[in-house]
Amino acid sequence: MFVDEVDIHVTAGHGGRGCLSFRREKFIPRGGPDGGDGGRGGSIYVVASPHINTLVHYRFHPKFRAKRGAHGEGANRSGRRGDDIELEVPTGTIVSELTEDGPVELADLTEGGQRVIVARGGLGGRGNARFATSTNRAPRRTEPGLEGDDRQLQLKLKLLADVGLVGFPNVGKSTLIARISAARPKIANYPFTTLSPNLGVVSLSDDRSFVVADVPGLIGGAHTGHGLGHQFLSHLERTKVLVHLVDVSSASGRDPIDDYDTIRRELALYPVGTEDPAGPLDRRPQLVAANKIDALDEPARLEGLRAALTARNVTVYPVSAVTGEGLRPLLEAMWRTVSRDAASREAAAGE
């Protein structure tokens, strides 16, 4: 099961109590204070792992509590620190704290091994040995341990991919990603077969590869959440290039030009944060793949699409995800576009 958003509750461990103790040994009847400090409570971390691709575990186990620190002991022995907890999440997860004013982002974990502390363990209390002075050599004062942080968090996964495949349901996105990569999504001849994104790595040669995301089918009103569109569109936020798949066969019963315009409109209306360096979805580099040419029974549909988009300076790549016809030029175009985008970002970062 693919789960890309969950709420969890984390409670760090409380600090241990400081000890009230006095040294008691033979021939030392009035030993001084020797109460040790309490141990610090365990903290909770969220860690990005490249070996996990869903947040499903946290849907069924949403509460985590770290162990408290041990209490201090006599002979100036400090209590043991509580064990920390590490919560592994997929790379690309955004960690936010849920507040009365809404989610407040704590970290965007975009690299494997990246970690953030989300609940800090409470400090251990001081034992009475800490309070000895020249005027008070037998203090009876100690401190309780402090409470650990208690937080309600939101974990939200946004896929990390170079290329995002977009289009109406049943236009062949899953078939395409299965053809060009090792990904094996569910494929069937009915709408909304794909209900969760799929990732595949496309390798053109030893030194030329990129990651493609097959995003579930979009429909009109997707930017408002219609047809789970808001959830699906969020996975395009990190992509560098978008590839529109349109069905040019007559089986869909739709006009491929209208399909393209509808998806473009949904991309434009989807709200992307102003801090996103890639900008709005509709302004990112885009390619158009006219799919199902193996079932093309009305050539005018393809020619009409090509003419309409050529007038807008958009190149159309006729392909068949089933037979593989026309895929090489499309893949080369994907690589060139991804490479250009990466180069332009590096140049902008160096300015």
Supply the DSSP symbol for 112: T
Residue 147: is its pLDDT beyond 60? Answer: yes
Delimit the CATH 3.40.50.300 region(s) of the chain. Answer: 163-350
| For the chain, percent of residues with pLDDT exceeding 70 | 87
pLDDT value for 199: 80
The rounded distance, in Å, linking the Cα atoms of 287 and 292 is 16
Supply the DSSP symbol for 321: T
pLDDT value for 274: 43
User: Hey, what are 195's tokens?
Assistant: 């209900």
Q: What is the mean pLDDT of residues 48-57?
A: 88
Contact between 172 and 160 under an 8 Å Cβ cutoff? The reply is no
Where does the pLDDT of residue 350 fall: very low under 50, low under 70, confident under 90, or very high at 90 and above? Answer: low
Taking the model in full, what pTM does it have? 0.74
Residues 192-225 have pLDDT tens digits of 444 567 888 888 887 888 889 888 766 544 344 4
What does the angle CA 246 – CA 324 – CA 263 come to, to the nearest 5 degrees? Answer: 15
Delimit the CATH 2.70.210.12 region(s) of the chain. Answer: 5-157
What residue type is assigned to position 216 of the chain? P
The rounded distance, in Å, linking the Cα atoms of 272 and 279 is 7
The rounded distance, in Å, linking the Cα atoms of 122 and 41 is 5
Backbone angles phi, psi at 116, to 5 degrees: -140, 140
Residues 63-76 have pLDDT tens digits of 999 999 999 999 99
What is the domain class of 163-350 according to CATH?
Answer: alpha beta
Residues 229-284 have pLDDT tens digits of 446 677 788 888 999 999 999 888 889 999 999 989 888 888 765 445 556 788 88
Task: Judge: domain 5-157, CATH 2.70.210.12.
Answer: yes
